[in-house]
């Protein structure tokens, strides 16, 4: 798969610089390796903002952008990165090193990461504004205040206001280029294959983890290096735990299984959910709830038109789900706020019906919950070509939900696709994964011979 070109990374830095005032500086730290246990680290994943601007995959680096006072030609992109080290490279592979990084990445200059505390004080001290993600990482905040204190001592009288970085950057990341869309298409195609494989191999007597293994196998065989987030393989009532990842229960005939899993290609995520019967056939109660969620999803996808509000998909889905639940004699919101939880993350909202507790869409890209700083605020956000988002309505009837008849309890259904907004309307990147009941049953029956 073709990676994003040096030129595209350069264009992105230029676009960010143009959003900054003359003399402003942006400080973008890359990710650090994180200890898992003993002397073992978690697999390293570069910070998405840093990756977007550099395409540089090593840990412990920092990008500094300075907007010149005399137009684009006086802008500067400066990298701080780990020095080369024979012993580290023997164990962990080749490093680029500051000597080679500027040319290899198309930057103006590169320095050892250890030079940051000497080089940053004069830069931030003279800046008209400092763009950074203040308040997200205590170690970074402390370091920045150290640079500012040092600048004071150097009589630089730093006067630059500290401003957000993410609102600018995420506004750029919201619109995918054709090269980004290609990577997302690939991630979607591999993910679809993983879900199909899990459907084919699903059988009573197996375990949720067996299906997780099918997903991972397909992801890695397809060319991805990892999942974009921990796979959710939730059978039976486990599906009512929205981010269930234990994946340890046996697969029982008569249950549904909800799989929410996606791979990452070139740092771009896919995010796909399908819900299907362990034994290959939906029961009438499961089918009734499933058809409501499917219709909600169809109408929500149809609402993803250029010019429509981001919220239109959610409104369309909720309308179908609330009406559908009422038709089945299930009150959708008898205990609203009891089950919705207090933790309103990007996907949650305490004001919603308790049985449809999460929102229908989030942006998708380098992060599975992408562009969090560009999330619609009070103003309705209009969809436009190049944006990518998920459409993922769900109905979850917890086992203890006595307001619903026994046959509905413990059923959780979510159907999620990845949608690219085009001038002609929504394009579903994950449409290869079956979601009609008849089609799912056909796929599962075919694999049983």
Residues that bind Mn ion (CB under 5 A): 260, 271, 273, 390, 416
DSSP letter assigned to residue 94? -
Residue 187 vs residues 323, 330, 360, 426: alpha-carbon distances, Å: 35, 37, 21, 18
Residue closer to Mn ion (CB basis): 67 or 274: 274
On whether the CB atoms of residues 322 and 356 are closer than 8 A, the answer is yes
Nearest partner of 166 among 126, 214, 193, 131, judged by Cα: 131
Catalytic site residue 243?
yes
Task: Decide if 370 is catalytic.
Answer: no
Please give the residue whose beta carbon sits closest to ligand GLY in the complex. Answer: 260
Q: Where are the alpha helices (DSSP H) in 136-283?
A: 138-153, 166-173, 178-201, 208-222
Tell me which residues in 109-138 interact with ligand GLY (CB under 6 A): none
**How many whole angstroms separate alpha carbon 373 and alpha carbon 135?**
14
9 in catalytic set: no
Least spacing, CB of residue 57 vs ligand GLY, in Å:
24
8 Å CB contact between 30 and 60: yes
Residue 370 φ/ψ, nearest 5 degrees = -80, 160
Q: Which residues pair with 25 in a beta bridge?
A: 66, 130
Candidates 193, 212, 260, 441: give the one binding ligand GLY (CB under 6 A). Answer: 260
Query: Which of 214, 416, 418, 441 is labelled catalytic?
Result: 416
Q: Which of 75, 367, 396, 417 is catalytic?
A: 396
CB of 243 to ligand GLY, least distance (A): 7
Token pair belonging to 294? 């499917």
Annotated active-site residue in 225, 243, 327, 442: 243
Of 39, 342, 379, 424, the active-site residue reads 39
Q: What's the min distance (Å) between Cβ of 90 and ligand GLY?
A: 38
Q: Which is nearer to ligand GLY, 58 or 367 (CB)?
A: 367
Q: Is 370 in the site for ligand GLY (CB under 6 A)?
A: no
Residue 362 appears among annotated catalytic residues = yes
Q: What is the DSSP string of 101-145?
A: HHHHHT-SEEEEGGGHHHHHHHHHHT-SEEE--TTS-HHHHHHHH
**Can you tell me which of 193, 271, 418, 441 binds ligand GLY, judged by CB under 6 A?**
271
Is 260 catalytic? The answer is yes
Output the six-digit token pair for 314. 């959610």
Q: Give which of Mn ion, ligand GLY, none residue 347 binds (C-beta under 5 to 8 Å, depending on kind).
A: ligand GLY
Catalytic annotation present for 195 = no
Residue 392 binding ligand GLY, by CB under 6 A:
yes
Catalytic residue check, 39: yes
Does residue number 441 form part of the binding site for ligand GLY (CB under 6 A)? no
Of positions 50, 147, 229, 408, contacts ligand GLY by CB under 6 A: 229
Residues 284-313 that bind ligand GLY (CB under 6 A): none
Q: Is 416 tagged catalytic?
A: yes
Cβ neighbours of residue 323 closer than 8 Å, sequence gap 6 or more:
none
Residue 424 annotated in active site: no
347 lines the binding site for ligand GLY (CB under 6 A): yes
Q: What's the gap between Cα 366 and its chain centre?
A: 6
Active-site hit among 12, 352, 414, 441? 414
- Asked about 401 being catalytic, the answer comes back as no
Residue 282 binds which of Mn ion, ligand GLY, none (CB < 5-8 A, kind-dependent): none
Q: Is 290 a catalytic residue?
A: no
Count of other CB atoms within 10 angstroms of residue 312: 21
396 is an interface residue for ligand GLY by CB under 6 A: no
Tell me if 314 contacts ligand GLY by CB under 6 A.
no
Q: Tell me the angle at which helices 6-18 and 166-173 cross, rounded to the nearest 10 degrees.
A: 130
Write out the DSSP string of 366-431.
Answer: SSSS--GGGS--SSPPBP-TT-EEEE--EEEE-TT-TTS-GGGTTEEEE-BEEEEEETTEEEETTT
Residue among 392 and 441 whose Cβ is closer to ligand GLY: 392
Q: Binding residues for ligand GLY, how many (CB under 6 A)? A: 8
CA distances from 425 to 143, 270, 303, 392 (A): 46, 20, 9, 18
**Nearest to Mn ion of 286, 361 (CB atom):** 361
Question: Is the Cβ of residue 231 or residue 279 nearer to ligand GLY in the bound state?
Answer: 231
Place of tokens 């950074």: 132
Catalytic positions: 39, 243, 260, 271, 358, 362, 369, 392, 396, 414, 416
- Residues in the site for ligand GLY, rule: CB under 6 A? 229, 260, 271, 347, 362, 368, 392, 416
């Amino acid at each position: 798969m073709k990676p994003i070109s040096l030129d595209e990374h350069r264009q992105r830095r230029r676009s960010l610089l143009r959003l900054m005032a003359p003399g402003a500086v942006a400080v973008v730290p890359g990710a650090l390796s994180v200890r898992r246990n003993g002397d073992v680290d978690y697999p390293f994943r570069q910070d998405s903002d840093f990756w977007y601007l550099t395409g540089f995959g090593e840990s412990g680096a920092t990008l500094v952008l300075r907007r010149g006072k005399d137009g684009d030609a006086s802008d500067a992109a400066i990298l701080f990165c780990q020095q080369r080290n024979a012993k580290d490279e023997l164990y962990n592979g080749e490093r680029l090193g500051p000597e080679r990084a500027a040319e290899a990445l198309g930057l103006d200059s590169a320095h050892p990461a250890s030079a940051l505390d000497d080089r940053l004080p004069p830069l931030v001290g003279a800046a008209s504004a400092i763009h950074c993600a203040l308040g997200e990482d205590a170690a970074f905040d402390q370091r920045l205040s150290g640079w500012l204190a040092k600048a004071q001592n150097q009589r630089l009288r730093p006067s630059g206001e500290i401003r957000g970085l993410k609102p600018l950057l995420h506004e750029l990341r919201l619109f995918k280029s054709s090269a980004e869309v290609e990577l997302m298409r690939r991630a979607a195609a591999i993910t679809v294959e993983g879900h199909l494989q899990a459907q084919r191999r699903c059988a009573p007597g197996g375990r949720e983890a067996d299906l997780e293994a099918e997903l991972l196998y397909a992801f890695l065989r397809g060319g991805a290096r990892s999942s974009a987030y921990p796979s959710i393989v939730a059978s039976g009532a486990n599906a009512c735990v929205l981010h269930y990842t234990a994946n340890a229960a046996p697969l029982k005939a008569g249950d549904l299984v909800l799989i929410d899993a996606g791979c990452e290609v070139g740092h771009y995520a896919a995010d796909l959910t399908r819900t299907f019967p362990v034994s290959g056939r939906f029961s009438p109660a499961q089918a009734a709830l499933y058809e409501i969620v499917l219709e909600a999803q169809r109408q929500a996808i149809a609402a993803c038109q250029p010019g429509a509000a981001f919220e239109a998909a959610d409104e369309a889905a909720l309308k179908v789900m609330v009406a559908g639940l009422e038709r089945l004699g299930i009150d959708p919101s008898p205990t609203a706020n009891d089950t919705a939880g207090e933790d309103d993350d990007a996907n949650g909202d305490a004001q919603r019906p308790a049985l449809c507790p999460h929102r229908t869409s989030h942006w998708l890209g380098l992060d599975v919950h992408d562009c969090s700083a560009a999330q619609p605020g009070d103003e309705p956000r209009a969809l436009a070509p190049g944006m990518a988002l998920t459409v993922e309505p769900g109905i979850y009837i917890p086992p203890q939900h006595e307001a619903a008849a026994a046959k509905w309890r413990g059923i959780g259904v979510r159907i999620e696709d990845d949608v690219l907004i085009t001038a002609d309307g929504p394009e579903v990147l994950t449409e290869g994964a079956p979601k009609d009941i008849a089609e799912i049953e056909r796929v599962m029956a075919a694999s049983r011979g």
